[in-house]
Structures are given as C-alpha cells and as structure tokens.
C-alpha cells in the first residue's frame, strides 16, 4: 500500500506540523480504508492558533482595514471557491462519503455566502438616537468580537464552514477553524484559497485534532471571544457549559428530530418525494432530516405504499458516480450507532416495511452502508421517534387531525425544522405559527439559503446562521456619549 500523505495545520499564515508530532488516519467511508494522515494537534497547538488569531486581530493590516476592503477580499474568496468547486467537491466526497453530485452543488453554491456577506460588510450601521438629557450627543457602533472559534461537524464540512467564516470575517473578526477529526481534509484545502485571496496572516487558521485535546483548549481559552459550534446536542451542551465559565458568546446549531407532516388534501406524489428527500438524501446525515413522517390516517396506507415503492428504487454505491443516490455513512462510529438504533426499533416492536439492516449489495463494497429503512406502527414516545439517529431511518406516525399533528410534531426536545404538505392556504399560513421549529417548509423540504436565517428552538440550538441576523452574532454594540456642555455639572450626581 502506498504511503499516506500527511496534512499540516495552517496557523498564522504558515503550514506547520503539529507540536505533538502525532498523526491519525482519516478514512474513506466508501472503501472503509484510510486515505490520508491528519495532524493530531494538542493544547499547545490550540494555544498557538489563538495567539496567531489574536495577533492578527490587533494588527493594523486587519484592524484598520475598511469594511469595504474586507468585503472585496470576501468576494475574491468567493470567486476562488467557484473556480475550484470541482476539486473541493472531490476532496469532500473522499473524506466524508457524500454524493459528488450534492457536494459539487454545494461548492458551486458556497461562493454566495462570500458575495452576500462581502456586500454586507460595509452596511453594518450604528444609529444616532435621541437622548433624554440636554447637551448630550449619543450614538451606537457595532464592533467585532475578536478571536472566534468555529467547530465544524463531519456531515457537510465546507458548507458549514461558510456559514461561520463569511459573517465572522465580514464583521472584522479573526477565526480558528477546528474541523471534525473525521473530515479535516476539505477544510485544509479550503484555507489554501483564503491564503490565495490575500487575507492577512493569522486572520484565518485551521487546527486539527480531537475534540478533547484541541477543541476543549480552544473553548476554554481566555482570549477566545466566541465559539460557533455545529454538532450533536450532547456535545453542544458541553460546549455551552465550558464556554460559560468565561462568559464567551456562543452560537449552537444542534440536532433535530423534525416532523414532516402530510395532510390528506396534499399532492401525495409530491409529498412522498419530499419525504424521501427529507430522510434518504445525504444518507439521512443532516440535522434537518425529516426523520418523523406524520401522515393523516385517511391516506396513511397509500402514502406508505408509495414511499416503499420510491425508496426501493434508490441506487446505492460509489458516491463519485452520477447514478448513486444513497452513499455510505460518514464515520464508522456513526455506522455502528445507526445499526444499534435499528435493533432498538426492532425491540420496541415497530413494523419494518423496508430495509432495517446494513447494506450488503455488491455495489456497496467494503463501505459503511445502511439500507434505507422505513418503520410503521411507530408511537411518538418510542426512542426511535424521540432520539436523533442521523442515518437513513424513517419513522411513520399516523395522526387524526391538525391538533394531533401539531401536538405530535412538537412533542420532542428538538425544534430545528418541520415540513407541511397541504393544498390549504389557511393551513399553510396558520400551522407554521404553531410548530416549535426554527425553519418550516411548506410543500417543500430541505432547502437552505445564505439569505435565510437558520437555527433551532429548544435543544436544537442558540442563535442564527445565515441572513442579516448572522453577522450580529459576530458583533457587539457600543454606545458612545458626547457632552456638548461647556462645564461639568455636579460630579456627585449621576447625569
């Protein structure tokens, strides 16, 4: 076997070896075999990443750069991403096993984040407000936070880097990207484009390694002002708790158990396609997965029959093939977790009408594949309906009427997304008000945009990414008071 290439980290504008001297293997989920070695950073590497970002934040080259100039750099980065979309997508597929067709689409779309926030960079306006005191002029200004840490998951690394990197830089911060230990390669390729775009050294840094060794050191570092985390809810709670010790600003985009609700007045064929997209696209490895399909009783059997028929046509295999529709699970631990939930569902007494096991098709080779799985006779109180599986596993739950659909839909600790399928204008307008979810799609599912705020209710997170709200997550407001009085009044009395 050929010797595996070793990745370096990008700190302070330099490509450096981990101070530990250690590396670990990154595996290709389709082959199940290692394909590169990733630097195993430690606390000292985290510290030098923070030092580099802090130095860059206070460097006049970045600190005094006009917002318009920052916007120009972001747009240049967007152009470079567009030019390299194909190459980036191929690295992403090799590293995380998602379909090339989807990764290429994401990489062709990712530049929009840099164009949008690049345009927004010089439109962050403070305000002059009337004050209730004479001879006083007061105004606000919005300023960057400082050193920000972006902790990225393994399911869509580069798209989720864009969610954080673009607004953070537009606001004038410096940033440290800590990619998942399972999918570090694409972030390291991405940062080469940041370098080529001409950002000052240290403004963007990438440090690789394990969460307990690098992530923990970044989260607790006293010079880090903000942590932006995407990942599981348990990890999110830990990040929140540790960051709170030093009162860092935190944004969390966490898990989901989203209800995709089909009413009997819908276009059933479209709803079935939406249900398939909601759970089997990306092998179910999305936080917004519509993993609970709520179906009105009067059309339950018809919907299930059509679901099975369409899901059976899903082609599995090499994610680089244009014909493949369902790829492997990204990590071996996640593969084992999904299989464990299949056993949990079996023990809970559900009816498995499709799949229910690992995939052994010849086209799946040695990869970590799970058959698209559909369960019926599911009660919403079951673990399979309450806990995030993060795999191609769909629970079908019947309901009688709107009231019961909303009750079931909201009866989880999560609140990231929801879908509604109906021809009723009244229902399309009124029901989103009642669903406890940060995003509600009507007669569609699984769409995102750089313009649309995204985030969760309840244990699905804190804060919002994308849209104009996102840049506020990376800024703080300062109020400035100016006295025009010719003399200072009584100094012992508050003015």
List the catalytic residue out of 253, 371, 465, 473. 253
Of 281, 261, 279, residue with least CA distance to 374: 279
Contact 65, 31 (CB under 8 A): no
Residue 298: CA count within 13 A, CB half-sphere: 8
Q: Report d(CA 446, CA 277) in Å as an integer.
A: 7
In degrees to the nearest 10, what's the CA dihedral of 350, 352, 356, 360? 160
148 is catalytic: no
Can you tell me the distance from the alpha carbon of 418 to that of 385, in angstroms, rounded to the nearest whole number? Answer: 14
Question: Which helix (H) or strand (E) segment is 63 a member of?
Answer: helix 60-63
Other Cβ atoms less than 10 A from the Cβ of 72: the count is 17
Cα–Cα distance for residue pair 445/280, rounded to 1 Å = 12
- Angle of helix 157-170 relative to helix 67-83, nearest 10 degrees, comes to 160
Place of tokens 């240049």: 76
CA–CA gap between residue 271 and residue 261 (Å, rounded): 9
Angle between helices 111-120 and 100-109 (to 10 degrees): 20
How far is the C-alpha of 495 from the C-alpha of 482, rounded, in Å? 12
Q: Are 86 and 104 in contact (CB under 8 A)?
A: yes
φ, ψ of residue 410 to 5 degrees: the values are -90, -5
Residue 253 designated active-site: yes
Half-sphere exposure for 379 (CA within 13 Å, toward CB): 4
Instruction: Residue 308: name the closest of 352, 357, 360 by CA.
Output: 352
Instruction: Tell me which of 287, 364, 388, 465 is the catalytic residue.
Output: 287
Buried b (16+ CB within 10 A) or exposed e, 51-71: bbbbebbebeebeebebeebb
* Contact assessment for residue 284 and residue 62, using Cβ atoms and an 8 Å cutoff: no
With H, G, I as helix, E, B as strand and everything else as coil, classify residue 200.
Answer: coil
**Bridging pattern class, strands 9-11 and 14-16:** antiparallel
Rounded Cα distance, 445 and 278, in Å: 6
- Residue 253 pairs with which residues in a beta bridge? 230, 461
Angle between helices 85-96 and 185-197 (to 10 degrees): 160
Radius of gyration of the chain (CA): 24
For β-strands 5-6 and 136-144, DSSP reports them as: unpaired
- Active site (catalytic) residues: 253, 287
């Amino acid at each position: 076997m050929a010797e595996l290439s070793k990745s370096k980290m990008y700190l302070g504008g330099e490509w450096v070896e981990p101070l530990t001297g250690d590396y670990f293997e990154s595996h290709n989920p389709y082959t199940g075999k290692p394909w590169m070695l990733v630097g195993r950073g430690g606390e000292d590497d985290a510290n030098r990443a923070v030092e580099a970002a802090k130095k860059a934040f206070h460097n006049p080259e970045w600190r005094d750069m006009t917002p318009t100039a920052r916007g120009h750099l972001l747009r240049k980065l967007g152009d470079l991403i567009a030019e390299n979309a194909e190459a980036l997508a191929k690295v992403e597929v090799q590293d995380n096993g998602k379909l090339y067709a989807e990764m290429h689409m994401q990489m062709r779309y990712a530049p929009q984040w840099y164009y949008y926030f690049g345009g927004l960079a010089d439109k962050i306006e403070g305000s002059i407000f009337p004050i209730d005191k004479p001879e006083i002029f007061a105004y606000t200004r919005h300023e960057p936070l400082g050193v920000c840490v972006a902790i990225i998951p393994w399911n869509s690394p580069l798209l989720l880097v864009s969610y954080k990197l673009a607004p953070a830089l537009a606001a004038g911060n410096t940033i440290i990207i800590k990619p998942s230990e399972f999918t570090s390669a694409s972030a390291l390729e991405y940062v080469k484009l940041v370098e080529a775009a001409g950002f000052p050294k240290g403004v963007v840094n990438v440090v690789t390694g394990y969460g307990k060794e690098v992530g923990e050191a970044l989260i607790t570092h006293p010079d880090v002002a903000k942590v932006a985390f995407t990942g599981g809810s348990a990890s999110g709670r830990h990040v929140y708790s540790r960051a709170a010790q030093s009162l860092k600003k935190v944004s969390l985009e966490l898990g989901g158990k989203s209800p995709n609700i089909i009413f009997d007045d819908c276009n059933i064929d479209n709803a079935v396609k939406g249900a398939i997209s909601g759970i089997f696209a990306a092998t179910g490895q999305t936080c917004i997965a519509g993993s609970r399909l709520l179906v009105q009783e009067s059309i339950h059997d018809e919907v299930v029959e059509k679901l099975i028929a369409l899901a059976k046509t899903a082609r599995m295999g090499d994610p680089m093939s244009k014909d493949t529709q369902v790829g492997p699970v990204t990590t071996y631990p996640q593969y084992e977790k999904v299989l464990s939930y299949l056993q949990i569902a079996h023990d809970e007494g559900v009816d498995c009408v499709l799949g229910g096991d690992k995939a052994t098709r010849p086209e799946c080779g040695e990869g970590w594949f799970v058959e698209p799985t559909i369960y019926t006779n599911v009660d919403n109180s079951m673990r399979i309906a309450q806990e995030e599986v993060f795999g191609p596993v769909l629970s079908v739950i019947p309901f009688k009427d709107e009231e019961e659909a909303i009750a079931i839909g909201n009866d989880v600790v999560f609140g990231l997304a929801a879908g509604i399928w109906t021809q009723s204008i009244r229902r399309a307008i009124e029901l989103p008000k009642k669903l406890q979810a940060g995003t509600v799609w009507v007669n569609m599912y699984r769409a995102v945009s750089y313009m649309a705020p995204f985030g969760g209710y309840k244990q699905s997170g804190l804060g919002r990414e994308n849209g104009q709200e996102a840049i506020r997550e990376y800024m703080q407001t300062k109020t400035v008071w100016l006295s025009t009085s010719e003399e200072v009044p009584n100094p012992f009395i508050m003015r």
